[in-house]
Amino acid sequence: MKYRVVIAYDGTAYSGWQYQENAVGIQQVVEDVLASLEGAPVRVFGSSRTDAGVHAKGFVGHFRLTKPIPPKNLVRAMNARLPDAIRILKSAYASDSFDARLSAKGKEYRYQLYQADIMPPHLAPYWTFCHRPLDLEAMRKAASYFVGRHDFVSFAANPDRVLESTVRNVFSFDVKKAGPRYTFIVRGDGFLYKQVRSMVGFLISVGKGNEPPEAVKELLDAAAPRTARVETAPARGLFLWKVMY
């Protein structure tokens, strides 16, 4: 049977989703649990890659099992064996044509920033701290320039692999504020390596007054490789919020 699962995880102690030779990724932990249920190796295919320290609320994966386990029982069995930082939220049978990555129509990421004089310790793993005041309207204006189909090479890091294209389509980009909490919400058809963190990092520079909002358009139009002018926001504030199918 082919299964589709929604996974939430705290990425603080992990090297990201992807299996790696010299570090522990979420994929490896999930596959080890499934192997213990199946009695044989199981490969899990994920909806995307996430960087070390990045979290997920709605990561999607698919895999096959030869032992028939009802989806609800599979959720209970996996969660009983997974560490507290990883949870299976939902499970369902999947069609043969479903692919967690290739079937995705878009993704939503959220970045959390806490702006105040002091950062509450319990928020530290999931919120990036900024003590300087931020100009919300300037950040919202700058975010609007990201919306649309653009070459995002200026806002991405080198993934050390060949890419067919650095052009992506951003559906929407909002910046919301509730007291000291800023949430950057971006939706698109896909994102380059560290693209979301680079875009947010630049918006924070705009919010601090270091860059004008129009600088986003300038960098997009230049379509030149990223420079030190574009800072990468820390991983801990980023969540893969939702995958759309």
Name the DSSP class of 234. Answer: P
Copy the structure tokens of residue 101: 């990555």
Q: What positions carry a catalytic annotation? A: 51
Task: Give the Cα separation of 116 and 127 in Å (integer).
Answer: 12
For residue 196, which of 111, 136, 90 has the smallest C-alpha distance? 111
Task: Give the Cα separation of 86 and 225 in Å (integer).
Answer: 35
For residue 61, which of 89, 21, 40 has the smallest C-alpha distance? 89
205 to 92, 125, 202, 208: CA distances (angstroms): 43, 22, 5, 5
